[in-house]
Amino acid sequence: MTGLVQEKPIDLSLESYVERRALELALAKASTDAARTGVQHLLEQRAALEERRAAHALDMTARRHARGEVYSDAKVDAINRMMPSKAELERNIQDLYARLPDAAGVLERYAVTSFPMLRAQRRTMLSALPADAKEAARAMEEDEERFRAAWIAAIGSPTLVRQLKARERELVLLFRTASRPMFLVTTPASPRGRRRRGRPGEGLEQAGPAVRRARGATALGLCRTRWASAGG
């Protein structure tokens, strides 16, 4: 609830769960004092960042409510169903991190599987935010970026930054492409197209349920990719 607005809460309890578990595993696998100190420093930074994340989520919700955008229970339920369960996240964690030999391996695996997707997603979402929310979102992203930089520095890989940037560029392109309308084009032209000769894409709604399902599957795939990547 924000002010007098009543809205069912979106469950964010597992949003950063894999991040925390990756750091816990890295600490358990640290074999030197320097490695342990580095991971402990990241855990301390993360604790402060989690407070900022919680405050930012409340602020963005309040701004949305002030614009008159209040989510229905059905919409909140749909959002919550998109989230993976704790058991699913734990399975991913065991598959991706548990068998790695050392702290650096865990930190690097999390960085490669999560940072590009999270940055690309936030960049895409930032561009779509209303003007009143962009400044706060940019400030939050600066905090996230400082934490990512500290995480990458703890790994100590000179080639990792280039690898992450290349992957992020691929994902940004994917998001931009998937958010644009798609049109069905046949070769040779279909009888309907030859008769009507309308503008490209005209009559898409008459193209049949298979095309509409393909468009929906693209959007759903992005949602699933987001949460799968967050889980490793």
- What average pLDDT does the chain have? 81
Structure tokens at 190: 């279909």
- 206-225 average pLDDT score: 37
- 61-71 average pLDDT score: 93
Residue 178 in contact with residue 218, Cβ under 8 Å?
yes
Which of 10-19, 91-100, 114-123, 182-191 has the least mean pLDDT?
182-191
Q: Higher-confidence residue: 186 or 66?
A: 66
Sequence-distant (6+) residues with CB within 8 A of 170 are: 116
Instruction: Give dist(CA 187, CA 208) in Å, integer.
Output: 17
Residue-level pLDDT at 162? 87
Give the pLDDT band of residue 207 (cuts 50, 70, 90): very low
- pLDDT surpassing 90 at residue 205: no
Residue-level pLDDT at 180? 66
- 87-102 average pLDDT score: 95
- 55-84 average pLDDT score: 94
The CA distances from residue 2 to 14, 60, 75, 97, 194, in Å, are 21, 10, 17, 38, 55
- 138-155 average pLDDT score: 94
Give the pLDDT band of residue 191 (cuts 50, 70, 90): low
N- to C-terminal Cα distance for the chain? 32
- 182-186 average pLDDT score: 67
Instruction: Give dist(CA 20, CA 137) in Å, integer.
Output: 22
**Where exactly are the structural domains of the chain?**
17-230
pLDDT for 163-179, tens place per residue?
Answer: 888 888 888 787 777 66
Q: Higher-confidence residue: 111 or 190?
A: 111
The string of DSSP letters for the chain reads: -BTTB--PPP--TTTTHHHHHHHHHHHHH--SHHHHHHHHHHHHHHHHHHHHHHHHHHHHHHHHHHTT----HHHHHHHHHHSPPHHHHHHHHHHHTTT-SSHHHHHHHHHHHHHHHHHHHHHHHHHHS-HHHHHHHHHHHHHHHHHHHHHHHHHT-TTHHHHHHHHHHHHHHHHHHHTS------SSPPHHHHHH--STTTTGGGS-HHHHHHHHHHHHHHHHHHHHHHT-
Whole-number percent of the chain with pLDDT over 70 = 75
The values of phi and psi at residue 15, to 5°, are -60, -40
